[in-house]
């Protein structure tokens, strides 16, 4: 859904000679987000390395026709603004390269203070804050994962469909017929074909995909289901990004009429921060040689947990963070994303799940690892199972990262104004072990393929809630996944 911003960079580069391109760009709707991290790294070509949050907003507010409402839902009944797609594009001006990190929308995390959905939720709920939604989602990512976000782009249902249609559709090769009742996806013929905006939207939203295996004669409702839900959808979305960039190159870059139509679609349904809009021409020039086939795409590893109940609230199926895999993947995707760890002045350790001696055992292990533990105690049990929560003083994520790096398992971070400056508090959850910190991982890519060297998650050494193996950072396509053609 948000892939059109990548194509927009390329199209703007091609059309920059036209005086009306800047006029079109000036019409893009902007909303400042006070939670953004200012560009602060060394610049090249007038641009710094930066992380742009790409948000696919599932708001249906723009749907007006009966056909749209019948396919994607009534905006009066489905009025929320959850983030269907959460990707972060890392741009490196020194190499003219880009890479994508996807965050599963069901990742269970702490919400910024005052979030309407409550203090803990799936990360997609952070967007459901009206005009403050992007800023709230940015804060959640920066606070909980430590990833700085410098800019953002938000696209709604209509903007996505109009973008695809303005490019004359997207060419995708479907090995099998596909069906998803909830997403309104119904691909009735296999093979390479052009899909319009409505079908493309259904495809990138599909989390309950069913596929027609060879030789099967059953009706679509009885076809086998994709077992990976949102994680498989992310992989298909990565393939769609490549197909969209291919379409932008082949149909838009050299055609001013296509360019005009495309920019009309983008400017009417896209929201971004003012700083990004002011950079678009420069971005387009710097990344004009970006090739779809060499775009590294990574997904944050998680472990799924069904029917989760937190503090008495039923949240449905959630994904838990998994360390040290998440830390390794983030550092491989953007070596400068996470701050250098700063050892806290003190650590207080709390048993949050009621296991005997848990706080004492964890405190002993952290002390043996060279950290200063001052408190080992029990705290209230809000959920069981539960993640381990590393709480740090607001603005001191480096101290949180230092302690996060000492754990393996379902571990995440949260700023907490109750924590004194320099200190860290740890609410120890169901599944974790204390380990020595691993050496920092740097990003690397193959000159031939441009593929990220982010490590795949191992399946045996990390304690996880429910004993489920962590998902891999880069999964192979299945036999039924569509690809660009």
Give DSSP secondary structure letters for 7-56: HHHHHHHHHTTSHHHHHHHHTSEE---TTPPPP-SPPBTTB--EEEEEEE
- 402 pLDDT more than 50: yes
Which residue, chain included where needed, has tokens 């709920």? 125
pLDDT of residue 131: 84
pLDDT of residue 304: 94
- 112 pLDDT more than 60: yes
Question: Degrees (nearest 5) of the Cα angle 330, 339, 366?
Answer: 90
Q: How far apart are CA 107 and CA 118, in angstroms?
A: 15
**What mean pLDDT comes out for the span 108-129?**
92
Which residue, chain included where needed, has tokens 């996944």? 481
pLDDT of residue 459: 37
Q: How far apart are CA 470 and CA 57, in angstroms?
A: 27
Q: Are 353 and 386 in contact (CB under 8 A)?
A: yes
φ and ψ of 306, to 5 deg: -85, 150
Percent share of the chain, pLDDT over 70? 80
> H helices of 189-320, where?
197-205, 230-247, 256-269, 274-286
> Residue ranges of the domains in the chain?
4-163+229-301, 321-434
pTM: 0.87
Between 405 and 156, whose confidence is greater?
405
Q: Residue 49: which of 82, 95, 4 has the closest Cα? A: 95
Between 266 and 352, whose confidence is greater?
352
* Per-residue pLDDT tens over the stretch 4-54: 444 444 444 444 444 556 677 787 889 999 999 998 787 776 788 999 999
**What mean pLDDT comes out for the span 302-325?**
94
Q: Are 4 and 159 in contact (CB under 8 A)?
A: yes
- 454 pLDDT more than 50: no
Within a 10 A sphere around the Cβ of 34, how many other Cβ atoms? Answer: 9
The alpha carbon of 317 is separated from its chain's Cα centroid by a whole number of angstroms, namely 17
Lowest mean pLDDT across 185-199, 284-298, 383-397, 417-431: 284-298
Q: Pull the structure tokens for residue 411.
A: 């571990």
pLDDT of residue 33: 95
* Burial track 65-97 (b if 16+ CB lie within 10 A, e otherwise): eeebbebbbebeeeeebbbbbbbbbbbbbeeeb
Q: Are 220 and 178 in contact (CB under 8 A)?
A: no
* Per-residue pLDDT tens over the stretch 196-225: 988 998 999 899 999 999 888 899 999 999
| Confidence band, pLDDT 50/70/90 cuts, at residue 445 | very low
Within a 10 A sphere around the Cβ of 256, how many other Cβ atoms? Answer: 14
Q: Pull the structure tokens for residue 38.
A: 């200012």
Q: Which fold has domain 321-434?
A: Alpha-Beta Plaits (3.30.70)
Mean predicted lDDT score pLDDT of the chain: 84
- 413 pLDDT more than 90: yes
Q: Are 55 and 127 in contact (CB under 8 A)?
A: yes
pLDDT of residue 16: 45
The domain 4-163+229-301 is classified under which CATH number: 3.30.1360, 3.40.630, 3.30.70, 1.10.3470?
A: 3.40.630
Q: How far apart are CA 392 and CA 385, in angstroms?
A: 22
């Amino acid at each position: 859904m948000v892939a059109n911003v990548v194509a927009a960079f390329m199209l703007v580069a091609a059309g920059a000679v036209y005086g009306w391109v800047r006029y079109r760009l000036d019409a893009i709707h902007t909303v400042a987000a006070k939670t953004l991290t200012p560009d602060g790294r060394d610049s090249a070509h007038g641009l710094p390395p930066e992380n742009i949050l790409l948000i696919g907003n599932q708001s249906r507010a723009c749907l007006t026709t009966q056909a749209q409402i019948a396919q994607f839902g009534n905006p009066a009944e489905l009025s929320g603004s959850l983030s269907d797609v959460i990707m972060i594009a890392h741009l490196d001006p020194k190499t003219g390269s880009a890479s994508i990190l996807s965050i599963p929308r069901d990742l269970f995390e702490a919400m910024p203070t005052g979030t309407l959905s409550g203090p803990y939720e799936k990360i997609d709920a952070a967007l459901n804050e009206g005009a403050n939604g992007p800023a709230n989602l940015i804060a959640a990512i920066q606070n909980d994962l430590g990833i700085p976000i410098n800019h953002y782009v938000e696209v709604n249902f209509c903007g996505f469909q109009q973008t695809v249609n303005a490019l004359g559709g997207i060419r995708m090769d479907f090995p099998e017929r596909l069906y998803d009742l909830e997403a309104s996806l119904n691909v009735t013929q296999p093979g390479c074909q052009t899909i319009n905006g409505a079908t493309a939207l259904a495809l990138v939203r599909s989390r309950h995909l069913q596929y027609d295996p060879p030789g099967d004669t059953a009706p679509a409702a009885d076809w086998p289901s994709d077992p990976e839900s949102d994680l498989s959808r992310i992989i298909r979305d990565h393939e769609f990004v490549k197909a969209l960039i291919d379409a932008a190159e082949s149909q838009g870059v050299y055609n001013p009429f296509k360019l005009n139509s495309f920019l009309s679609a983008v400017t009417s349904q896209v929201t971004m921060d003012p700083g990004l809009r002011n950079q678009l021409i420069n971005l387009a020039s710097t990344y004009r040689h970006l090739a779809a086939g060499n775009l590294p795409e990574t997904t944050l590893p998680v472990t799924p947990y069904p029917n989760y109940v937190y503090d008495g609230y039923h949240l449905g199926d959630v994904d838990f963070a998994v360390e040290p895999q998440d830390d390794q993947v983030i550092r491989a995707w953007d070596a400068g994303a996470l701050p250098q760890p700063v050892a806290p002045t003190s650590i207080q350790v709390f048993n949050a799940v009621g296991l005997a001696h848990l706080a004492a055992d964890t405190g002993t292990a952290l002390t043996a690892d060279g950290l200063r533990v001052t408190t080992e105690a029990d705290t209230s049990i809000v959920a069981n199972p539960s993640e381990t929560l590393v709480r740090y003083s607001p603005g001191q994520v480096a101290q949180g990262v230092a302690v996060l790096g000492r754990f393996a398992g379902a571990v995440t971070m949260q700023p907490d104004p109750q924590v004194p400056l320099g200190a860290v508090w740890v609410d120890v959850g169901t599944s974790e072990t204390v380990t020595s910190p691993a050496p920092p991982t740097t990003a690397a890519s193959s000159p031939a393929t441009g593929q990220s060297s982010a490590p795949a998650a191992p399946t045996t050494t990390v304690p996880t809630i429910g004993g489920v193996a962590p998902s891999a950072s880069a999964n192979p396509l299945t036999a039924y996944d569509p690809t660009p053609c």
